[in-house]
Amino acid sequence: MKLIPSLLMLGGSLVFQARAEIYPSPEPGPLPTVMSRTEIESGLAKHERALFIKTGWIRDPYIVLGPDDFYYLTGTTPDVGDPREQSDPYNVGLGDNSIVGGTVQVWRSKDLVEWESLGTPFTMKDSMRPKPGKLVWAPELHWTGERWALVHCPAAKANLALSAGPELKGPWSHPMKGKLGDKHDPSLFKDGDTWYLLWADTLIAPLEKGFTGFAGEALRIDPAGSRPGPEGKPISRIGHEGATMLKVGDKYVHIGTAWSTDKGRKGSYNLYYCSADKITGPYGPRKFAGRFLGHGTPFQTRDGKWWCTAFFNANVPPLPRDGIETRDLSANAQTINQRGVTIVPIEVGTKDGDAFIRAKDPAYATPGPDEAQKFQ
């Protein structure tokens, strides 16, 4: 594996954000309501179709089952009470008119139906940065066995913070201090007794015990092979953001996010993966996990079923799902996800000796005709 500076992979995401500034928010229209308790409970049991479980402006939703048997939800959100959540419900979150705030909002639920707000247990006032600014993107919550670890971006404002104890609240400590550096879309993964940090889609490095620093140099992990790039040159990266990792059997599964066309805000925002026998690779070919699942988080419910979070990320209002499997979306950023949190059933297991991840709902399970890479 080659050693790559962490800033190398920031360009793609920054270019995508700059291009997005030219797009106005889609016209709102009537906003949908979440499914009923009966529909959600039935859908959770059947594990066949996507479930719309929470309204509100949120991107990059992250759900994890905590040590107290509550599901915890966070993500990229506005500040509490921002009137634009109602007046500009389909704000794209990018550019000068971004609705993204400077806090980490958290909710918890026993059943994925009723959600209790825990307010904003972390704000940029809790940051280690001398000039943290106001933006908080893509926060994640990880239970370490004694306390919570929280990571977020954007790169120049990134933090890795630890709660004081088992409750999800401050005061927050920053054991890495200035050693963290600028990290785009940081995520944590534990393998045995070692925690790893992933970022920039994708570099990975082991962390010292207590999260006090890096225990090794950053290594680049890319899928094997390549695909045609938007500039005519082959590319091998898994995507441009939203990197996470799972352990499926004996396989390490590296998950990443990209637009189907590999062009900024063109097509559908999707989830892809590749697998390896060792966490540092080499990794196998890039595979398709699900359409409209970009920057979603795979998680398990108490009964062991796997789901992936999904959200609205488009330049136009949500499309109807009927016939979406054969519809070419390459002309614009488009999705079937409503504004809020949707969870999509996924299959996670092994097939033919390798890890296998795929959405089960047909509207999410089929690669669209706008895919730059052709999948089986």
Predicted TM-score (pTM) above 0.85: yes
Q: 7: closest CA among 207, 222, 154, 206?
A: 154
Instruction: Encode pLDDT of 4-48 as tens digits.
Output: 333 333 333 333 333 444 456 776 667 889 999 999 999 999 999
* Cis before 171? omega within 30: yes
Q: What is the CA radius of gyration of the chain?
A: 19
User: For residue 131, what pLDDT is reported?
Assistant: 83
- So what's the pLDDT on residue 6? 34
Retrieve residue 74's tokens. Answer: 């966070």
In the predicted model, residues of the chain with pLDDT beneath 50 are 1-22
Element (H, E) at 363: helix 362-365
Question: What is the rounded CA–CA span in Å between residue 298 and residue 309?
Answer: 7
Question: Which string of b and e fits 235-258 if b means at least 16 CB within 10 Å?
Answer: bebbbbbbbbbbebeebbbbbbbb
Using CA of residue 288, residue 291, residue 295, residue 298, what is the dihedral sign? negative
List Cβ neighbours of 145 (8 Å cut-off, separation of 6 or more): none
In whole numbers, what is the pLDDT of the chain averaged over residues?
92
| Angstrom distance (rounded) from CA 152 to CA 141 | 9
pLDDT at 28: 65
Query: What are 149's strand-pairing partners?
Result: 142, 162
List the domains of the chain with CATH numbers.
Answer: 6-365 (2.115.10.20)
Distance, CA of 364 to CA of 344 (rounded, Å): 8
Could you report the per-residue pLDDT of 67-105, keeping only the tens digit for each? 999 999 999 999 999 999 999 999 999 999 999 999 999
